[in-house]
């Protein structure tokens, strides 16, 4: 009898505390993925060629360098900062890679492979300078990184004299020209880089520290975390990802120049925000950025396929950025980016 009474009371208690549906949380988490699915279905219905394997390959080729750059930006935004140096970093590291590659024989299977670690080191050094200017001189990250980006573009012009540096090695160019299941090798290389970024985010102390700093710098400092060191390391890591993106951009174009980094600022920041990573820091991550990059490139490709003008593409992307910020930002406690 007592057991039956307790069971009845438990049932009543269960009915008195119904499970509520967190619509805002659901939208913040899944809206980008739902938008991507809707875009694929919508463009596919408008033009069946959009979902062809050849066109999907074109989308991934266009998205690959931008994705790698956006991954670097993701770590910075998770910390609650902004990095606007990507155009200069991509341009300068692409030029450094191409020049060194050709100076070492112009063959990836020869000494040319040394150009890869040299370019990555250059990206890390630029990121180091970026981070030190930000934290030591106490300059807001967006202003410090924008200045460093201008310097990077200037360095690329200085190194090239305004000319194009071509890379013609067949082995290196195979990243674009050699295909497996109709997708070029650079797409599979990008998948490996995404997995590496996810590992850093989820499985390393540095990745967890990014979230701690973005979630509350004062609290992170009070808990004994060296916030300045984490920020500098974050900018260095972003610089390395920018350099990887630069190398893939050279593989795609077969050349490097001062304009190699053009438009990466808009595409990368837009992709990260549209993917659902909050500009306020403390949340978001790699997989959200992957979705965001795909959304941006699907829109760009889809509107071309169905014959819509360029200005409509920019308008749609602008609306998506506004919606994404609304969904991912708590505006009650809004503060300026650090």
Q: Nearest to residue 295, comparing CAs of 4, 43, 36, 23? A: 36
CA-CA distance, 73 to 331, in Å (whole number)?
A: 22
Burial label for 152, CB within 10 Å (0-12, 13-18, 19+), is buried
Q: For residue range 13-31, what is the model confidence (pLDDT) as tens digits?
A: 445 445 565 665 666 677 7
CA-CA distance, 196 to 200, in Å (whole number)?
A: 6
Model confidence at 327: pLDDT above 70: no
DSSP state of 87: H
pTM: 0.87
Q: Nearest to residue 83, comparing CAs of 138, 143, 123, 133? A: 143
Mean pLDDT of 63-83: 94
Question: CA-based Rg of the chain, rounded to a whole angstrom?
Answer: 23
Number of residues in the chain: 338
Q: For residue range 86-115, what is the model confidence (pLDDT) as tens digits?
A: 999 999 999 999 999 999 998 999 999 999
Domain ranges of the chain: 39-329
CA-CA distance, 210 to 120, in Å (whole number)?
A: 21
Q: For residue range 54-71, what is the model confidence (pLDDT) as tens digits?
A: 999 999 999 999 999 999
Model confidence at 42: pLDDT above 60: yes
Q: Nearest to residue 61, comparing CAs of 153, 158, 205, 184? A: 184
Q: Which residue has the higher pLDDT, 32 or 95?
A: 95
Work out whether the CA dihedral 328, 330, 336, 337 comes out positive or negative. negative
Q: What pLDDT is attached to residue 331? A: 45
Model confidence at 328: pLDDT above 60: no
Mean pLDDT of 176-205: 94
For 39-329, CATH gives 1.10.3470
Q: Nearest to residue 228, comparing CAs of 147, 148, 141, 143? A: 141
Q: Which residue has the higher pLDDT, 321 or 100?
A: 100
**Mean per-residue pLDDT of the chain:** 86
Q: What pLDDT is attached to residue 70? A: 95
CB atoms within 10 A of CB 151: 16
Helices 264-274, 310-328: axis angle to 10 degrees equals: 40
The percent of residues in the chain predicted with pLDDT above 90, rounded, is 56
CA-CA distance, 71 to 167, in Å (whole number)?
A: 25
Question: pLDDT band at 338, cuts 50/70/90?
Answer: low
């Amino acid at each position: 009898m007592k057991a039956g009474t307790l069971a009845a009371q438990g049932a009543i208690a269960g009915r008195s505390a119904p499970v509520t549906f967190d619509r805002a949380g659901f939208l913040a988490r899944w809206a980008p993925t739902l938008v991507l699915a809707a875009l694929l279905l919508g463009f596919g219905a408008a033009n069946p060629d959009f979902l062809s394997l050849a066109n999907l390959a074109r989308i991934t080729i266009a998205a690959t360098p931008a994705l790698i750059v956006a991954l670097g930006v993701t770590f910075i935004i998770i910390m609650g900062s902004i990095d606007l140096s990507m155009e200069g970093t991509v341009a300068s590291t692409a030029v450094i890679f191409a020049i060194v590659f050709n100076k070492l024989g112009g063959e990836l299977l020869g000494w040319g492979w040394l150009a890869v670690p040299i370019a990555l080191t250059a990206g890390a050094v630029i990121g180091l300078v970026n981070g030190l200017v930000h934290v030591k001189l106490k300059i807001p990250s967006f202003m410090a990184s924008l200045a460093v980006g201008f310097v990077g573009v200037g360095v690329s012009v200085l190194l090239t004299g305004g000319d194009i540096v071509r890379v013609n090695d067949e082995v290196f160019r195979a990243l674009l020209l050699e295909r497996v299941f109709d997708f070029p090798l650079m797409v599979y290389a990008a998948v490996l880089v995404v997995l590496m970024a996810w590992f850093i985010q989820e499985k390393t102390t540095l990745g967890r520290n990014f979230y701690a700093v973005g979630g509350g710098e004062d609290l992170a400092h009070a808990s004994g975390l060296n916030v300045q060191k984490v920020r500098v390391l974050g900018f260095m890591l972003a610089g390395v990802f920018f350099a990887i993106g630069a190398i893939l951009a050279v593989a795609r174009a077969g050349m490097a120049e001062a304009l190699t980094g053009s438009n990466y600022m808009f595409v990368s920041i837009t992709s990260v925000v549209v993917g659902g990573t909050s500009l306020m820091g403390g949340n978001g991550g790699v997989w959200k950025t992957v979705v965001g990059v795909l959304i941006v490139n699907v829109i760009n490709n889809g509107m071309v396929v169905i014959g819509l003008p360029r200005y409509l593409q920019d308008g749609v992307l602008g609306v998506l950025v506004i919606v994404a910020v609304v969904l991912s930002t708590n505006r009650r406690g809004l503060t300026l980016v650090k």
